[in-house]
Structure 1
Amino acid sequence: MSDSKQSAAEQISNMDKLTHRTLITSPENLQYSYYLSPDFNNKINKDVPTLMFLHGYPDDAYMWAGAVPTFLSLPYPFIIIDLLGFGDSSKPVDASLYNYKTQSTSISQILDLEKVPNNVIPMGHDWGSATSQRFYLYNKHRCIGLCLLSLAYQIPSSQPFDLKTANEETSKRFGYPQWEYWNFFCRDDAANLMRKNIERFYEVNHGNFPSPIPEEKGRDIWMREMFCTPHAMDDYVTQSGAWSNRIVDLKPYAKDPDLFARFKKRMTRDGFEGPMQYYHSLKNNTMLEDEKAILEGENGARIEVPLLYIGQTGDWVCRTDLMDDAKKAGLASDLEEKVVEAGHWVLYEKPVEIAEIIKEWLGRRFPAGK
């Protein structure tokens, strides 16, 4: 179970309390799906921050469902968006459409339609963190705060991204190739293999594997084994190589059959082809010129609003110490950091703890009506 007293089915039903809407954005003609807190349009005003929640891969807006009860108890109106490629949003297979700037423009159109004031606090997990960061950088006039989960602030770079180089550098820095799984994710057959072996891919994401190394004192190293070890994810998903006859134990929350059932139904219906474009978009440097443009602006890469970062001890890809890069560069002067004992998918594992951390930060830094 998660730290919520609700079952997965009960958490999923929390979303029924929200209003679901869609918008066809221009000029790309893409549908975006989103959920509004009750009486959203009557509650938005310039004196009360508007919270905007973005999920990551391979999730959808329902990733936030376990935290919704806490958010509903707060005085802040909120919106939860299905990012492109997920949920009821469009799922194009053109990597350029997953560009941060393009998505930020689409999200702005949603906020314009709903008449949201320039008082937004983007909050994102994983790719939702990346999108929240860039939404802030492209729309500083709209935002008064920022909250990042799992993925720390990724400083814009004028240099092209090279996967081989990135893995070589992180191997030297951390002792393992941080982005090794991208070699599998960016293969032409990856989406089909995930769909055909969807239960195995679910296990890849939500497994629990205590380290047998005495010095690591039983720390869960499953993510490091699967995401940061050459060929491991491919072998596990396809039941070949070293993982041909092995099944990992799941984290307690992931054993809830309703959580897996919803994931299987959604991804069998939607496929992985769209979601994989996030990785192709960065690997193929579709955003390089946009990143350069950010750096050319005055204070372009600096986060000038209160920033809350929440990391997890069991996240071997989105390491908690990666926020140090932004701190050393002086790009996040008003930063607060929290670390939770959990894996990467913390909104399933500890939705209540995450919601309470956010609640405390909001109440202290953004008291309603002030």
Structure 2
Amino acid sequence: MASVDAGGEVRHWSAEVNGVSLHVAEQGPADGPAVLLLHGFPELWLSWRHQMAALAARGFRALAPDLRGYGDSSAPTDPAAYTVLHLVGDAVALLDHLRVPKVFVVGHDWGAQVAWHLCLLRPDRVRTVVGLGVPYFPRAPRPMAELFAARGDGFYMTQFQEPGRAEKAFARYDVATVLKKFYSIELDDLAAPPGVEIIDFFQESSSPLQWMTDKELGQYAEKFQKSGFTGPLNYYRMMDTNWSLTAPWHDAKITVPAKFIVGEKDIGMESFGGKHYIESGGFKSNVPDLEVAIIEGHHFLQQEQAERVNAEILSFLDKFTEN
């Protein structure tokens, strides 16, 4: 693709789709190839600020919504409104709203889960997929609650299951501190000792985050102060429901061209068996048309290693874009 001198300003708008209002940040030419950027937990469209600028400067149309439950998008009160079918439905409805038949999709963390399932459920709407941090795992043989139980009550996903529990624990801290605790997670932080809430166990970095300014942290905190954490936590509370709903796709493969980018110190590389899954060929067997890039960094990679991630994404998209 031909480069453009500048990607222009970020434009903000909302769309009524799939029964919710989605706030979308957009940058780049409106007639450029569309790239849908799906953020993770606990983040916002802002997580993609570096990628949006780089994509726009190369002539892509970068589209970064606040997922339902986050930021300036709707936050339904019913946990059942946060299944993976709702989340994929939001993405499809947004594409319909924009009259975009097929899209490049990039997802991080929970956004990667949505991106992988968009490919699984509606491969006709996806040109390529880039996942960050969370690979596509096939549907487990047993419900997620059974798998969580083996990790004990201190495991963060176990604590997130009970409505109100994590919210009550989070409320003991100011919102910026809660966010900074999550953004500072290390490999051994995912399970607290018995009787300890995970947010109390997480250690906030004693120094400023090198990849986020205080102003940017304040922008995140302002939105989470307004919208709260219940919507984002409901994603975790629907994991067993997702297991039931995705039964028809058991053992199905991701068939669209895919790239996976992960930090070598990402919590998922060790804690969830990601490294073994990649190296054993399990990932490739479930996503046959796959490239993998393991780079220096941790979990919030698109912010921590923005230039490297931008280069990885752009080089991959260039293969599927007409010159």
TM-score (norm 1): 0.75
1:87-126 correspondence runs (5 A): 87-118=71-102, 120-126=103-109
Runs of 5+ consecutive residues of structure 1 not aligned to the other structure: 1-13, 172-176, 208-221
CA distance in 2, matches of 1:250, 1:24: 41
The root-mean-square deviation of aligned C-alpha atoms, in Å, is 2.9
Selected match of 2:166 from 172, 182, 190? 190
8 Å CA contact retained: 2:29, 2:59: no
1:147 is paired with a residue of what secondary structure? strand
2:267 equivalent to 1:316: yes
The code of the aligned residue for 1:336 comes to E
CA distance in 2, matches of 1:37, 1:259: 18
What is the CA-CA distance between 1:156 and the residue it aligns to? 2.3
What is the CA-CA distance between 1:31 and the residue it aligns to? 1.1
- Spell out, residue by residue over 1:119-161, the C-alpha distance to the aligned partner (whole angstroms, 9 max, x if none): x121100000000011111111111211100001121245322
- Against the structure 1 CA distance between its residues 147 and 247, is the aligned structure 2 distance closer, same or farther, given a 3 Å change threshold? closer
Runs of 5+ consecutive residues of structure 2 not aligned to the other structure: 1-5
- Against the structure 1 CA distance between its residues 52 and 110, is the aligned structure 2 distance closer, same or farther, given a 3 Å change threshold? same
Q: Which runs of 4+ in 1 moved over 6 A?
A: none
Which has the higher Rg, Structure 1 or Structure 2? 1
The range that moved more, 246-255 or 120-129, is 246-255
1:175-324 correspondence runs (5 A): 180-187=155-162, 188-197=164-173, 198-207=175-184, 222-230=185-193, 234=197, 237-238=199-200, 248-250=205-207, 252-253=209-210, 256-282=213-239, 285-295=240-250, 301-317=252-268, 319=270, 320-321=274-275, 322-324=277-279
- Against the structure 1 CA distance between its residues 140 and 190, is the aligned structure 2 distance closer, same or farther, given a 3 Å change threshold? same
What is the CA-CA distance between 1:357 and the residue it aligns to? 0.9
> Paired residue for 2:10?
18
8 Å CA contact retained: 2:261, 2:292: yes
CA distance in 2, matches of 1:203, 1:77: 30
Selected match of 1:335 from 272, 283, 290? 290
2:162 equivalent to 1:162: no
**Identity in percent:** 19
- Against the structure 1 CA distance between its residues 250 and 346, is the aligned structure 2 distance closer, same or farther, given a 3 Å change threshold? farther
What is the CA-CA distance between 1:249 and the residue it aligns to? 2.5
Aligned residue-pair number: 312
- Against the structure 1 CA distance between its residues 277 and 318, is the aligned structure 2 distance closer, same or farther, given a 3 Å change threshold? farther
- Against the structure 1 CA distance between its residues 32 and 247, is the aligned structure 2 distance closer, same or farther, given a 3 Å change threshold? closer
8 Å CA contact retained: 1:63, 1:347: yes
> Paired residue for 1:215?
none
What is the CA-CA distance between 1:329 and the residue it aligns to? 7.0
TM-score (norm 2): 0.86
What is the CA-CA distance between 1:97 and the residue it aligns to? 1.1
1:17 is paired with a residue of what secondary structure? coil
